[in-house]
Structure 1
Amino acid sequence: MTLPSLGSPDRIAAAARRVMNRCDELARVSAADQGIERVYLSAEHARVNRLAAEWMRELGMRTRQDAAGNQLGRLDVLDPSGAVISDAPALLIGSHLDTVPDAGRYDGIVGVLMGLEIVRLLRVPAGDSDSAWRSPFPFAIEVVAFSDEEGTRFGKALLGSSAVAGLWNDDWWALTDAAGTTLRQAFLEFGLDPGRIGEAARRPDSLVGYLEAHIEQGPELDRRGEALAVVSSIASARRFQLVVEGEARHAGGTPYDMRRDALLGASEAALAIERICRTEHHIIGTVGQFEAFPGAVNIVPGETHFSLDLRGEFDGERDRVFDEISRELDGIMGRRGLRWRSREVHNAAAVMCAPLLQDVVREGIGATGAPGASDPATIFSRAGHDAMTIGAITDVGMLFLRNPDGISHHPDEAVSAADVAAGIRALAESVVLLGHERR
């Protein structure tokens, strides 16, 4: 299969400029007066879905918003007579359009927009007319804009892709946002029918695989001076809410040998977590929340609550580290006359990218001629992505783009037009290679 137009540097540079301009356009769709904020089932969600659908239709794609609020466009496979093969499997390409509060403009968004440019590069005319288009492969190409990867509004991430993967949990309907609106009510207000959520689920035999391009949410590519990387896996993760119990007493009247200070015990625990994860294991441990009670300036803290986020490349190593942390906390609390307990609030297994999709992404990067392309970096993703849930129903592959200084979930996150152009070229080549594999 040869696609001569794919190699046109001017065409790919124009595609990258279009991605960058559309990232700017989507950044203006925000619930916040300052910064970017787009949450699930909001007016901003509806607006960006409409924009994405408009851009999909411009490319000759059939569009639909599914039962979970995800926006999809499909470039069909046609039979020799020109009729749509409606049951042809599809290669999904995409990411998400929702954001965290005070977000950057590229996390997730760049992956959706790059997917559209892949369609623009690879589509071929349907017959003699240039007004209709089809997929040149034995599979359709679908671009998906997932609706709730971040979990900002209801505190539960990956809702949109979970519905597509058939992993919806009816307990989620009772989730509430900061205003007390339930997820069920938000569905109704958005115009979706909670009773039809199962219609968003895809069958494994309806998919060829899933490819996602994403900015790296870390500095490794920037430090290597390389534009692109193959993603090997998405980190396993466990999250806990921990409570340290001591005794609240008068700060002035209680001597040190009688204090059971829950804040100091929790502080020592947080430092132990850093030491164990940073110096003894390749596991990322983060204490992101910390609150002491009763919280008065003149009272020894009697109780402290804090969070623990553990991430690692492999589930077993992550679990062994938590066991070691637990033993360390037993020792700390025993010495200080304190008690501690934990409640697990999240557990996600590592998701390995499929070997074939890693290979085609690697070869696609190699075709770009960018620095490091001949032997591109292979990186495991320490952040979660929609590919984690889609991996339950089909093979997944990911491509990372350099993010200067590695900053993300922040207005300063960045990607260059040159790197986006390299990423578009690499991902398009990857799809072509996959097309060869499927013939």
Structure 2
Amino acid sequence: MENYIARAEKTLARIHELAAISEDADGITRTFGTPAFLRGSALVRGWFEQAGLSTRLDSIGNVRGRLVSPNPAAKTFVIASHIDTVVNAGRFDGPLGVLLGLDLLENLREDQAVLPFHVELIAFSDEEGVRFHTTYLGSKVVAGSFDPDLLPKTDAAGISLAEAIKTMGGNPATLADDAIPADQWLGYFEAHIEQGPVLWEQNIPVALVTAIAGQRRVELTFKGMAGHAGTVPMDMRQDALAGAAELVLAVEKFGLTHKAGLVATVGKLDVRHAASNVIAGEVTCSLDLRSADATRLDAAYEALYAQADAIATRRQLSLHWHLVQHTAPVLCDAGLNALLTTAIADCGYPVVPLVSGAGHDAVPVSTVAPATMLFVRCFKGISHNPLENAELPDIAAALQVSECFLSLLFNQYQSSLSRP
């Protein structure tokens, strides 16, 4: 274990060095295509090159490093996570998986001559979707599922996604060329902090991800009639903020009632022309629904739409309901999960199966390749927050398990090649 502690220290030092690159001085913010993101990307690419990987930057800004197998029929196994962040982020969400993967490939390089398949390490450029209100831009390009209709989409400054790609040195017209063809995928592995409290509370360093919850994200707007707070009688108001407030509580109640298999959140509220002496005439809010059960997710979506519509009707408001994102639940691959289960047990840790409530780049990749994920214990389950932290012994355990998993995968694949 001492060797893994030393390797974890090197990985942790890289995580801290990358975290020092930010759009602001008071926190960690590296959103897709910004100068801070590009500096971070260049740093990571430099580490890839120092490790002896065949390295390139693709058109969406993914940093890609590759170990090439001498096997002429070799497919590609991808190890990846992302290096973009939310605003005022923690330092481990995404970079931990990338830099843990870098350690694995640094140590694999000595055995490159006997690799039974290609191994590609990818630092995805945009998983969080902060700048353009999209998700998985980087991994969708690699999986071949990028939607060109997103290219005209603009950020808060009016800059289009296509323009941002060109500023980064990419070519929007060649994004499809950066995909790994579906028949060339062998599999996908991603290590990630848990972003939940289970491992922290149980003092267990790693967990097996069995599934990733599906998501429905909605932007909805209540419109009523703005009016003077002192002159419009209470029973004659069309108060959009009161309608939105009622919906917020309805969403919370629905989530609590169905908490066994669902979470429901209103995380954003925008009151147009807000003033203390004005009845709100228009309010936009978000709705985030997540479940690993597709049927339950669909039912929740319909039920909450019905409640929002009823609130609007009762309060004489209009309702605009816009589905922003619809991601189906993903089951991790049974075969890869069996190997990862063995690796966890062989390293002496209890096997804890967990469903991820957060989305990951494994979601788009799972449409073209078998995918598996390893969760790593993090401080109190805190994420998307400067308090986010993964401790050195847990990172070392994750390295140990990941290396064992790759060894099992190599042996399995070599055995399959040797069969007549």
User: Aligned residue for 1:202?
Assistant: 180
Instruction: State whether structure 2 residue 175 is matched by structure 1 residue 175.
Output: no
Instruction: State whether structure 2 residue 382 is matched by structure 1 residue 390.
Output: no
Contact 1:242–1:307, Cα closer than 8 Å, also in 2? yes
User: Aligned residue for 1:346?
Assistant: 325
Contact 2:59–2:169, Cα closer than 8 Å, also in 1? no
Contact 1:90–1:139, Cα closer than 8 Å, also in 2? yes
Q: TM-score, normalised by structure 1?
A: 0.89
Give 1:250 deviation, angstroms. 2.9
Instruction: State whether structure 2 residue 216 is matched by structure 1 residue 238.
Output: yes
User: Aligned residue for 2:278?
Assistant: 299
Give 1:64 deviation, angstroms. 1.6
Distance 2:12 2:312 in 1: 52
Q: In the alignment, residue 352 of structure 1 is paired with which amino acid?
A: L
1:36 counterpart SS class: coil
Contact 1:75–1:135, Cα closer than 8 Å, also in 2? no
Distance 1:246 1:403 in 2: 44
Question: Can you list the C-alpha shifts for 1:46-99, whole angstroms capped at 9, x where unaligned?
Answer: 3333332332233332112222221111112125xxxxx4x6212111101111
CA gap 1:179/1:331 in 2 versus in 1, 3 angstroms: closer
Contact 2:70–2:116, Cα closer than 8 Å, also in 1? no
User: Aligned residue for 1:22?
Assistant: 14
Contact 1:365–1:423, Cα closer than 8 Å, also in 2? no
CA gap 1:341/1:30 in 2 versus in 1, 3 angstroms: closer
Q: Percent identity?
A: 37
Contact 1:135–1:141, Cα closer than 8 Å, also in 2? no
Give 1:266 deviation, angstroms. 1.6
Give 1:111 deviation, angstroms. 0.3
Distance 1:34 1:68 in 2: 28
User: Aligned residue for 1:106?
Assistant: 92
Question: Can you list the C-alpha shifts for 1:187-237, whole angstroms capped at 9, x where unaligned?
Answer: 222221222111111112222100000001111211222111111111111
Instruction: State whether structure 2 residue 264 is matched by structure 1 residue 278.
Output: no
Distance 1:247 1:44 in 2: 43
Contact 1:174–1:183, Cα closer than 8 Å, also in 2? yes
Q: In the alignment, residue 179 of structure 1 is paired with which amino acid?
A: A
| Residues 71-220 of structure 1 aligned to structure 2 (within 5 Å) | 71-78=63-70, 85=72, 88-125=74-111, 134=112, 136-220=114-198
Contact 2:22–2:37, Cα closer than 8 Å, also in 1? no
Distance 2:371 2:147 in 1: 22
Instruction: State whether structure 2 residue 376 is matched by structure 1 residue 401.
Output: yes
Q: In the alignment, residue 101 of structure 2 is paired with which amino acid?
A: G
Distance 1:337 1:48 in 2: 50
1:33 counterpart SS class: coil
Distance 2:21 2:156 in 1: 21
User: Aligned residue for 2:46?
Assistant: 54
Contact 1:354–1:396, Cα closer than 8 Å, also in 2? yes
Distance 1:37 1:340 in 2: 34
Which 4+ stretches in 1 moved above 4 angstroms?
Answer: none
Instruction: State whether structure 2 residue 27 is matched by structure 1 residue 35.
Output: yes
User: Greater shift after overlay, 232-241 or 70-79?
Assistant: 70-79
Q: In the alignment, residue 140 of structure 1 is paired with which amino acid?
A: H
1:124 counterpart SS class: helix
Give 1:294 deviation, angstroms. 4.3
Q: In the alignment, residue 230 of structure 1 is paired with which amino acid?
A: L
Q: In the alignment, residue 327 of structure 2 is paired with which amino acid?
A: A
1:437 counterpart SS class: helix
Distance 1:19 1:316 in 2: 41
User: Greater shift after overlay, 250-259 or 398-407?
Assistant: 250-259
- Of 393, 410, 413, 1:438 maps to 413
1:389 counterpart SS class: helix
Q: In the alignment, residue 47 of structure 1 is paired with which amino acid?
A: R
2:151 counterpart SS class: helix
Give 1:354 deviation, angstroms. 0.4
Q: In the alignment, residue 146 of structure 2 is paired with which amino acid?
A: W
Give 1:348 deviation, angstroms. 0.9
Give 1:293 deviation, angstroms. 4.0
1:174 counterpart SS class: coil
